[in-house]
Amino acid sequence: MLKDFTPQERKVVLSITFAVMVRMLGLFLLLPVLSPYLKTLEGATPQLIGLA
């Protein structure tokens, strides 16, 4: 599928793909650690934790 793109288009597509991949990886690595920690903070509510 990428062979139909020009080199410049291929570079842009792969750059965006990499950025989204890193974002999702960070999200799924951070949330399981962040949520239990935030529950220990004073004034933390489920709504505020979800917003964070």
List, in sequence order, the alpha helices (H) in the chain.
Answer: 7-39, 46-51
Given a contact cutoff of 8 angstroms between Cβ atoms, the answer to whether 25 and 11 are in contact is no
pLDDT of 1-52, one tens digit each?
778 899 999 999 999 999 999 999 988 898 888 889 999 999 999 898 888 7
Distance of alpha carbon 12 from alpha carbon 45, whole angstroms: 41
Distance of alpha carbon 16 from alpha carbon 23, whole angstroms: 11
Distance of alpha carbon 50 from alpha carbon 35, whole angstroms: 8
Whole-model pTM: value is 0.59
